[in-house]
Structure 1
Amino acid sequence: MRRDARVSPTLASATPEEAAAGWTARLDKGPLSASEQQALQNWLDQDRRHKGAFLRAKAIWQASGRLSALHGPAAPPIAHTTPLPPLPRRRFFAAAATTALLLAAPKPQGKANSLYVTANGVSAPLHTAFGTITLDCYSQLKMGLESSRLVAGRCCVLGRTGMIVKAGNLIFAPQGRLLLSCSPTQVTATSISGSVRLRRHHSNEWWTLNAGSQISLTGNLPPEVRSLLPEEMATQNAWSLGLLEARDESISSIVGTFNRYNQRQLHVSADFANRKLTGVFNLNQPEVFAMAAQTILGARLTQTPQTLLLY
């Protein structure tokens, strides 16, 4: 009995939501032992908030499972050639969403296999002789035999020796995982793992960007380099894994991101627009997010084939 108590999800330092998540995950593995059942009942009887947290956690777990069944088996994950830093632990209600990517095939335009364009979806990996490039939604990539150029938007590069990627006035030679974004006025590169060498066009001066560092270049101004916290890296890397990572973010902001990636649009009333959530959600499953917001925030949810309304 002491052994069961020691591994019980209801640690003294856990919040009601964290403890409820632990119990829900434990129940999913199989029946409770007699001592575990008694520990759960004791925890539920301690505080009426515990019962509410437990019911919410079970509802979200079950909702996620039903949606997975409705949508069929998950898409196969992308094989990464370099190890990825694990995402920080989050409360269960957000982590319960499946993390499979819904891969969109980018459309080649212009010359064959030269310019790739994405709409509202993350692309499948584009294979080169020296690695892969994955495009974010609403992005453009020009691919050649010797190098590739990010024309607009964002991409994730998994490169090895020989990979060359250009963006704006910068040339990159990544050996590892690199996030790259490009706008008419700025280029930003973040090294997630491994390292990347880079230089300006028409310059022989190379810089090295190690994992956890980010460089931004605006016009002809000196580059800005900074180190990222692990949480920042996870947030910036999330889209390339098919995830949305929110950290005390408003519902309206989260909804805006979902709507960039999905044809089925989310709408939220003014009463809930400024409410905040923290968690990790699947970019391609606005339904799961809407059910989580409904359960956690007490919102009402109205659905049509094209829209999801939280109010």
Structure 2
Amino acid sequence: MSDAHRIERSACEWVVRYPLTPAEEAERNAWVAADERHAGALLRAEAAWHLLGDAAPELSAEPTADAAPPRSRSRRWWLALPAAAAAVALALIAPWQEGGDRMATQAGEIRRVPLADGSVTLIDGGSELVVDLRPRERHVTLVRGEAWFDVQRDEQRPFVLDAGRAQVQVLGTEFAVERMGGSVRVSVTEGTVSAWSTATPGVRQVLHVGQSALFPASGEAPTIITEPDAVERRLAWRQGTIALSGETLYEAALRFNRYNRQQLVIEGAALRRQQLVGLFRIGDPQGFARDAATLLDARVEVDGDTIRLREKDLPNP
């Protein structure tokens, strides 16, 4: 158990001992004075206990004629409610657990998740992230895929996102981060963000609304693009569509494969590099494959859960 966890747990133990005797009060005051973190932990524990206080009596037993004095009854009430005790400890400690909360979406699943700090994240299909809300920093790791964040402003606790090749820091704004094929794209839909490459942490880019930064897999400096319309197109998945405006067929296939059991496979280097423009429904990979084949003079082969797009003159394997 970390030091922070021990402090929070000790604060919970002090709260459930109320009312205190004079000797216990002196002991609690000495505990608070021993560490500057103790006072804040005690306040948080008291707040959490207050929230549980209204519901707890409904779960306690009816008093009997030989009921114990109020102080003893209070202690028995706590012992009779282990779920409430766990709830207090969890409410205080869970957001700061080492390692954080892991969230993952399956293909075709788009999940909206409210975070404990008041922020909201929309997680794209086939994505995974870890949220670790620490006392002095809100830290999120995007393991794979893409997520959009509406970050509650908190100037005392910066929101830091780790996407491997790229890092992002905000105080409160809206932005999206995507990991795809070794590269990372950061897009801003409201406010500003500070972004930098892991390879050069001292060189930071300030991105404004409508801007995006592409951090290439090669580790080179990011490319900054100012195209508000392009940012909205890339985030069309929030409305159940995929909007393409010059992306390669290979990139489009990667996007579709996040959402569908049927997976697109592009065969032929030249075909992979072909660019597309259009708006397509996320859940219709076969329809997309037929449209792409018509536009690019390719052929489609469907074999169970695999949809192959092949150059017409490419021989069968």
Category of TM-score, reference length = shorter chain: 0.3 to 0.5
Give the TM-score normalised by the residue count of structure 1.
Answer: 0.47
Select the structure of larger CA radius of gyration.
Answer: 2
Higher relative contact order (CA 8 A, sep 6+): 1
